[in-house]
Amino acid sequence: MSEKKYNYTVEILPPEDFDEWAEHCGSIFDVGPAYFRRHFVSDPHRDYNSVFIIRNEERKIISTVRVFHRQVYIGGKTYKMGGIGEVSTNPNYRKLGLSSQLLDAATDYMKEHDFDLSMLSTGYFSHYAKHGFMQANFYDKTVVGRDAKFANGEFIGAPLSDIRPLNQENFHDMAMLYNKYCSKLNCCIVRTKDYWQEWCAVEIKNPYGLFKDGKLAGYICFDGNWVSEIVSDECDHDILLSAVKSDDGKVNIPAFVKTGREIIDKDCHSHNMICVYKPIDVDGKGTALSDTAAVVEYLNNNGGIVMWGQDGF
């Protein structure tokens, strides 16, 4: 890093520098630049004006923060949410306050564009707490896998159930189910038709559907033994879980999932953080929570945050 003082300023990413930006992000995270290209190109709500960068003396990108344009369900209502992602700084330019400059710019942008709240996932809690973010809980549990028994001793299996792999041709029916069930979960992403066709088409992993009388009744997505999405009536949760191919005989699921399987472990994770900019009406009766602490308390006491793996930013 140069010893001379330099006035680092925040800029908006120009489209012509997109490849350089993706290369920068890919050099910081081990997923590589292709991941960040995909995350931008496949996002129907992408906006270069919400990608903030800082350059060095040679005009090379050395730090960035992106605001993802999303909506989330809270208390059954929808709110405009800015997802903070792609936060990265060249190691040679760290501890100069660049990330804080970018977060301030991102916050100003969200307030100017009427975002209700912002969310992010991190392990650096104190850094984001300085910018008004607070940790909110996600609850999950680990249960026995497909070749096991219910707690009452009955065999877990669905030999007579019609469970099949799904593809994009099923997206319409999947979206109908998603809107029905996920609108009741706090902080689930609101998925538009374009979002299904562009983002979900490349992000959803291993979708399997439960069919009843030839009609899709529910679906599940998983990555290894981790259930990244399960959408159905609760009476069908265990049937859908039988589709998960677990190598170690265990399946990790959100705490709200109804199951008769033996519960091996329960956990609470606080890697998600939120910051509230406008009052949140949690019950539709005018009970508005006007600050971040009140919203976090509400979320933690009402099932916690539920954001499916394929919606991560």
Q: Is residue 102 part of a domain?
A: yes
> Per-residue confidence at 161, pLDDT binned at 50, 70, 90?
confident
Structural element, H or E, at residue 275: strand 263-276
CATH number at residue 96: 3.40.630.30
Predicted confidence (pLDDT) per residue in 7-21, tens digit = 899 999 999 999 999
Are the beta carbons of 44 and 201 closer than 8 angstroms? no
Domain match, 156 and 250 both: yes
Domain match, 296 and 206 both: no
Q: Which amino acid would we find at residue 131?
A: H
Query: Whats the size of the chain, residue-wise?
Result: 313
Q: Is residue 156 part of a domain?
A: yes
Domain match, 223 and 181 both: yes
Q: Is the pLDDT of residue 158 over 60?
A: no
Domain match, 104 and 28 both: yes
Q: What angle do CA 85, 231, 193 make, to 5 degrees?
A: 60
Structural element, H or E, at residue 205: none
Domain match, 126 and 274 both: yes
Identify which of 222, 232, 224 has the alpha carbon closest to the alpha carbon of residue 161. 232
Q: Is residue 187 part of a domain?
A: yes
Q: Is residue 310 part of a domain?
A: no
Domain match, 124 and 36 both: yes
Q: Is residue 4 part of a domain?
A: no
In the chain, alpha helices (H)? 18-28, 33-41, 98-112, 125-129, 171-182, 193-195, 201-203, 237-241, 292-301
Q: Is residue 3 part of a domain?
A: no
Domain match, 132 and 274 both: yes
What domain count does the chain have?
A: 2
Q: Is residue 115 part of a domain?
A: yes
Q: Is the pLDDT of residue 160 over 80?
A: no
What's the pLDDT at 4? 52
Predicted confidence (pLDDT) per residue in 223-236, tens digit = 999 999 999 999 99
> Per-residue confidence at 3, pLDDT binned at 50, 70, 90?
very low
Predicted confidence (pLDDT) per residue in 67-86, tens digit = 999 999 999 999 999 999 99
Domain match, 127 and 157 both: no
Domain match, 241 and 273 both: no
What's the pLDDT at 287? 76
> Per-residue confidence at 247, pLDDT binned at 50, 70, 90?
confident
Are the beta carbons of 244 and 123 closer than 8 angstroms? no
Domain match, 159 and 238 both: yes
**DSSP secondary structure letters along 235-274:** GGHHHHHTT---SSSEEEEETT----BPEEEEEEEEEEEE
Predicted confidence (pLDDT) per residue in 27-42, tens digit = 999 999 999 999 999 9
The alpha carbon of residue 223 and the mean position of all alpha carbons in its chain are separated, in whole angstroms, by: 15
Are the beta carbons of 150 and 144 closer than 8 angstroms? no
Domain match, 278 and 239 both: no
Q: Is residue 1 part of a domain?
A: no
Identify the domain boundary among 260, 279, 294. 260
Q: Is the pLDDT of residue 155 over 50?
A: no
What is the reported pTM? Answer: 0.91
Domain match, 34 and 71 both: yes
% of the chain surpassing 70 pLDDT: 93
What's the pLDDT at 147? 52
Q: Which domain, by its residues, includes 279?
A: 10-136+269-302
